[in-house]
Amino acid sequence: MIENPVLRGFNADPSICRVGGDYYIATSTFEWYPGVQIHHSRDLVNWRLVARPLNRASQLDMRGNPDSCGVWAPCLSHADGKFWLVYTDVKRLDGAFKDAHNYIVTAEAIDGYWSDPIYVTSSGFDPSLFHDDDGRKWFTNMRWNHRPIGSGLNPAQDRFDGIEVQEWHPERGLLGEVTTIYTGTSLGLTEAPHLFKRNGWYYLTIAEGGTGYDHAVTMARSRKLHGPYETHPNQHLMTARFAPGNPIQRVGHGQYVETPEGEAFHSYLCGRPVQGPHGAFCAMGRETGLAKCMWVEDWLYLEGGGLVPPATLPGPARVPGPPTAHDLTNSLPAEFQWLRTPYPARIFQMTGQAMRLTGRESLGSWFEQALVARRQEDQAYHAETTILADPPNWQRAAGLTTYYNRHKFHAALITDEPQIGRCARIISCIGDPTEALTFTDPVPLPDGPITLSVKVDRASQQFFWAQGGAAQPLGPLLDASVISDEGGRGEHASFTGAFVGIVAYDLTGQGWSADFTRFAYHPAA
């Protein structure tokens, strides 16, 4: 079966393309480095991470980018014998300005060398590149309007000022005039344009309704690239906004693809909410699903009708995934990423015996953190790591963290306190934008390696510590719903998802280090 979501854990804004019998999905990575995840499949069921193409400073440097900025909504395509990847590096989230810079990189092989970026425009975000059948290329994005609300083409859209298109040439850049081809429906917040052509029609799929529970995929078509575009008879191709009890919510933002046999599919992002102490929350953030579709009178519909994509579809058997327990010795496990910096040697090194984290800035930094983590993929899981660390004072620490962003995290840390010595304690920030921290009482630790672990069960989590025996609870039961899009106090919803991983900091700036010898992540039975 195709079990949705097909890419579990934070994998938002899925752009899908097919080359022969191979399918590829590119997803957003925001402030996590390297930029953009690309998964490969030959059967639409079994997906494997094959590339993170934005992996050097000339392509992407996000130091200083606020939370939930960085790489938004990539578009992956294949034409002229190579892959084309369009992406945005967003430098501001809050306020009227967005500062969204759009680039294109190319590669002959999906897992090969990706070029340095070609800058295109900063007029908006969610860029896409359409290769027309006459060989011309067209660049589309939503246009951002920083002026007072209601000053744009569609007052209902607020700052989402319409979908614009302009011809683009690899050597000559943007050509001709910019044309606004679509301003959206009454749902508003029109973004994420993707163009494709079929039976003489130009089709435009977009996302609307924001990234929350009103999200939707809307469709329009025209006989001419520049319009006018008519909206789908149902307005939306898919949405869960009218089905609050459905286990898959926040359906929107995807792209069309056909199999070699002509079967129609459409990717979409989604969330799997569960109930917490403060309401529903999606710990995994926005994940990637696939819906099978059908054509009726040159309009696309979900197969079987309706607007809510099903949780399962017929398909081949799923092959077990890669191991989730690792000796951290010679190479970084593929599922791990770090934050913002294109210079990972400054924050970690593989020594052959351990992964050595060099403590840098705090858990609240936007610049250089030694925090290396993997996505939470399951509502309940157990993770653990073994640490060799002897911090000389309370300004240094290393440990295990469940992390969403700089104001939503729990961290079990080995540190040093006066009159106590080496000890473990938990530091939490529970969704407070002022970064107000809470601390548990320190627990003295013996000399030698320490194993820190965490058990997460939906809205609750518990840290433990051990040395050669049974694990002992560390601190109280914690609110795991904080580590989510919806978690925390006030309006702090974001766009990424929960991670679990290892961290070290040195607030003296001297580069104290700690060694991590193993890491394991296991879904709960």
C-alpha span between 473 and 451 (Å, rounded): 12
CA proximity to 438, closest of 468, 470, 475: 475
Q: Is residue 9 part of a domain?
A: yes
pLDDT at 322 over 90: no
Q: E strands of 273-407, at which residues?
A: 274-276, 279-281, 287-296, 299-302, 312-313, 325-327, 337-339, 348-350, 355-358, 370-375, 380-388, 396-405
Q: Is 124 exposed, middle or buried (0-12, 13-18, 19+ CB in 10 A)?
A: buried
* 94-to-212, 343, 482, 517 alpha-carbon distances in Å: 17, 27, 20, 39
Final residue belonging to a domain, choices 313, 338, 362: 313
C-alpha span between 425 and 443 (Å, rounded): 6
Q: Quick check: is 368 catalytic?
A: yes
C-alpha span between 346 and 388 (Å, rounded): 19
In the chain, the amino acid numbered 26 is: A
Q: Is residue 511 part of a domain?
A: yes
What percentage of the chain carries pLDDT values higher than 70?
98
**Positive or negative: CA dihedral 404, 410, 412, 413:** positive
Q: Is residue 401 part of a domain?
A: yes
At 155, is the secondary structure helix, strand, or coil? helix
182 with 222: CB under 8 angstroms?
Answer: no
**pLDDT tens-digit map of 443-472:** 999 999 999 999 999 999 999 999 988 999
- For residues 87 and 67, state if they share a domain: yes
Q: How many CA atoms lie within 13 Å of 380's alpha carbon, on the beta-carbon side?
A: 5
Instruction: Give the pLDDT of residue 432.
Output: 74
- For residues 280 and 386, state if they share a domain: no
Which stretches within 271-412 are classed as H helix? none
354 with 517: CB under 8 angstroms?
Answer: yes
**pLDDT tens-digit map of 52-97:** 999 999 999 999 999 999 999 999 999 999 999 999 999 998 888 9
Round the average pLDDT of the chain to a whole number and report it: 95
Task: Give mean pLDDT, residues 412-436.
Answer: 92
pLDDT at 156 over 90: no
Instruction: Give the pLDDT of residue 487.
Output: 86
End-to-end CA distance of the chain: 20
- For residues 220 and 304, state if they share a domain: yes
Structurally, the chain folds into a number of domains equal to 2
C-alpha span between 488 and 97 (Å, rounded): 25
pLDDT at 144 over 70: yes
pLDDT at 488 over 80: no
Least-confidence region, from 1-5, 13-17, 144-148, 406-410: 144-148
Q: Is residue 99 part of a domain?
A: yes
CA proximity to 402, closest of 325, 502, 489, 327: 502
pLDDT at 151 over 50: yes
Cis peptide bond upstream of 5, omega within 30:
yes
pLDDT at 489 over 60: no
Backbone angles phi, psi at 484, to 5 degrees: -160, 170
Q: Is residue 320 part of a domain?
A: no
- For residues 373 and 516, state if they share a domain: yes
pLDDT at 274 over 70: yes
Q: Which residue has the tokens 């392509």?
A: 59
Confidence band of 236 (pLDDT split at 50, 70, 90): very high
Instruction: Give the pLDDT of residue 493.
Output: 55
Task: Give mean pLDDT, residues 164-186.
Answer: 97
- Domain residues for the domain of 376 are 325-523
Q: Is residue 148 part of a domain?
A: yes
For 131, other C-beta atoms within 10 Å of its C-beta total 17
Task: Give mean pLDDT, residues 166-189.
Answer: 96
Instruction: Give the pLDDT of residue 155.
Output: 65
Q: Is residue 318 part of a domain?
A: no
Final residue belonging to a domain, choices 268, 293, 313: 313
- For residues 256 and 332, state if they share a domain: no
- For residues 153 and 275, state if they share a domain: yes
**pLDDT tens-digit map of 187-220:** 999 999 999 999 999 999 999 999 999 999 999 9
Confidence band of 404 (pLDDT split at 50, 70, 90): very high
pLDDT at 433 over 80: no
- For residues 371 and 307, state if they share a domain: no
Confidence band of 320 (pLDDT split at 50, 70, 90): confident
Instruction: Give the pLDDT of residue 180.
Output: 97
- For residues 474 and 411, state if they share a domain: yes
- For residues 134 and 165, state if they share a domain: yes
Instruction: Give the pLDDT of residue 490.
Output: 44
Question: Token digits for 80?
Answer: 């002229």
- The conformation of residue 359, written as its DSSP 8-state character, comes to -
Q: Is residue 481 part of a domain?
A: yes
164, 368, 384, 486: the active-site residue: 368
Task: Give mean pLDDT, residues 338-352.
Answer: 98
What CATH number has the domain bearing residue 409? Answer: 2.60.120.200
Task: Give mean pLDDT, residues 500-504.
Answer: 98
Final residue belonging to a domain, choices 313, 340, 374: 313
- For residues 475 and 362, state if they share a domain: yes
Q: Classify the phi-psi angles of 374: left when phi > 0, otherwise alpha if psi is within -120 to 50, otherwise beta.
A: beta
- For residues 302 and 339, state if they share a domain: no
CA proximity to 37, closest of 3, 96, 79, 87: 87
pLDDT at 374 over 80: yes
What CATH number has the domain bearing residue 119? Answer: 2.115.10.20
- For residues 290 and 340, state if they share a domain: no
For 78, other C-beta atoms within 10 Å of its C-beta total 16
